[in-house]
Amino acid sequence: MSQQTSSPVPIFLSPPHMSGREQQYVQEAFDTNWLAPLGPNVNAFEQEFCDYVGCKHALALGSGTFAIHLALDTAGVTTDDDVLVSTLTFSASINPIVYQSANPVFIDSEPNSWNLDPQLLEDALKERAAKGKVPKALVLVHLYGQCADIDPIKALCDQYGVILIEDAAESLGSTYKGTHCGTFGQSGIFSFNGNKIITTTGGGMLVSDDEAIIAHARKLSTQAREPNLYEHKHTEIGYNYRLSNVLAGIGRGQLQVIDEYVAARKRNFDFYQDRLGKLPGVSFMPDAGWGTHTRWFSCITIDPAQFGCDRTHVLETLQAEKIESRPIWMPMHMQPIFEQYDFYGGDVSAHLFERSLCLPSGSSLTLDELDRICSIIEKLPVAALA
Ligand SMILES: *Cc1c(COP(=O)(O)O)cnc(C)c1O
């Protein structure tokens, strides 16, 4: 086959991006035979993570989902409790609520940040309090690299006695009025899945300023072993949720370059905005202005009437060129698996879902790749008119 007809190089949505610093820590784990779900890399990763986000205690775990589960468990969430949660999120925000046999209660987005609408939260709390059943907790999601409007949300949680848990899986590095997300509630969680801003191939972190919460989560994460190991006497149900010392080594290397990775993702977004912002019917996920938006994902919204085709057509056109994009999350209140649960809101997230797309957003994207993606999208309205 000739050069000209060879198929284009694929561009992925958000591939892992190694810095070269990870291998030193991985090698140390091998050299010292710390090949276990504990060890020096795990301890150091927890400490370095605390230093970065500005929290007192952290627990490294095998996934962000494990971290949410332990946040709920240590908050005392149990059978038939109600747990408020942002509807515009990934299903991992919800599944652990169901593991605890509690009921998720979905809250719609506000258009300004796409995150949970504080006014709807207030409506939900008023109505539920009047009926005599105040929700136990709120899982507040910080979507696609941007914090929710934490001040009014936290004030409502305090007023009604609702435990605040922050799902910051997508927003490591983003701040609200100068403070890192994930550090405002009783506990916060982060993810190091392969497509997140930093990765350990798979992993997560639970953080809290409350030492007792992290101590309890640490115990639960290692089969709820009691201090007297040799008795093997158990008083509560535990899990096997800790992060491997090898993978924690990857996390340590990744954490050293997080500022560069945040800057690269912002640069991607600015590039898209410069080029595609000129097209009719194209808008972008807003920056609400109360903090740093890391642009973990660069999200655009297509108005098909103005643009000439819909977001699915954009997705399919990119796919034909081996460029991966995807619609934003399908809101959880629209999911068949969660249809029996309550929802407060209107059509804000549903409307965003129908029209919005996540473009390739990795920190290793090159300017040539960004140019290639934009050139394809720029031709679409013309092609649709022809
Ligand atoms: C990725 C993600 C999670 C889950 O994290 P894992 O490490 O993949 O288990 C939870 N919540 C949100 C919003 C996510 O995007």
**Looking at the predicted structure, is the pLDDT value of residue 337 above 90?**
yes
Cα–Cα distance for residue pair 87/345, rounded to 1 Å: 9
Q: Could you say which DSSP state residue 305 is in?
A: H
Q: How far is the CA of 303 from the centre of ligand 1 (A)?
A: 29
Q: How far is the CA of 193 from the centre of ligand 1 (A)?
A: 7
Write down the architecture of domain 22-255 according to CATH: 3-Layer(aba) Sandwich (3.40)
Cα–Cα distance for residue pair 176/146, rounded to 1 Å: 8
Confidence at residue 1, expressed as pLDDT on a 0 to 100 scale: 43
Probe target for ligand 1 pocket from 93, 191, 243, with the most ligand atoms within 8 Å of CB: 191
Is 201 within 8 Å of 194 (Cβ atoms)?
Answer: yes
Q: Give per-residue pLDDT as tens, 6-39.
A: 778 999 999 999 999 999 999 999 999 999 999 9
Q: First and final CA of the chain: distance in angstroms? A: 32
**Looking at the predicted structure, is the pLDDT value of residue 385 above 70?**
no
Q: How far is the CA of 255 from the centre of ligand 1 (A)?
A: 18
Is 298 within 8 Å of 358 (Cβ atoms)?
Answer: yes
The confidence band for 3, taking pLDDT boundaries of 50, 70 and 90, is low
pTM of the model: 0.97
Q: What percent of the chain has pLDDT over 90?
A: 94
Nearest CA to ligand 1 atom 5: 64
Find out if CATH 3.40.50.300 is the number for domain 258-385: no
Element (H, E) at 107: strand 103-107
Does 22-255 match 258-385 in CATH topology?
Answer: no
Q: How far is the CA of 309 from the centre of ligand 1 (A)?
A: 31
Q: What percent of the chain has pLDDT over 70?
A: 97
Q: Are strands 163-167 and 187-191 parallel, antiparallel or unpaired?
A: parallel
Output the average pLDDT for the chain. 96
Per-residue pLDDT, averaged over 121-143, amounts to 98
**Looking at the predicted structure, is the pLDDT value of residue 2 above 90?**
no
Nearest CA to ligand 1 atom 10: 92
The confidence band for 340, taking pLDDT boundaries of 50, 70 and 90, is very high
87 in contact with ligand 1, CB cutoff 6 A:
no
89 in contact with ligand 1, CB cutoff 6 A:
yes
Q: Are strands 163-167 and 137-141 parallel, antiparallel or unpaired?
A: parallel
Per-residue pLDDT, averaged over 252-263, amounts to 98
Q: What are the residue boundaries of the structural domains of the chain, listed by start?
A: 22-255, 258-385
Is 332 within 8 Å of 106 (Cβ atoms)?
Answer: yes
The confidence band for 4, taking pLDDT boundaries of 50, 70 and 90, is low
Confidence at residue 386, expressed as pLDDT on a 0 to 100 scale: 58
167 in contact with ligand 1, CB cutoff 6 A:
yes
Q: How far is the CA of 199 from the centre of ligand 1 (A)?
A: 12
Instruction: Give whole-number Cα distances, 28 to 22, 31, 168, 194, 308, in Å.
Output: 10, 5, 30, 22, 55
Of the candidates 118, 115, 125, the residue with the CA atom closest to the CA atom of residue 88: 115
Q: Locate 384 and state its tokens.
A: 């649709």
As beta bridge partners, residue 166 has 140, 188
Confidence at residue 383, expressed as pLDDT on a 0 to 100 scale: 66
- Spatial neighbors of 139 by CB under 8 A, at least 6 apart, are 68, 71, 72, 83, 84, 85, 86, 93, 94, 97, 165, 166, 167
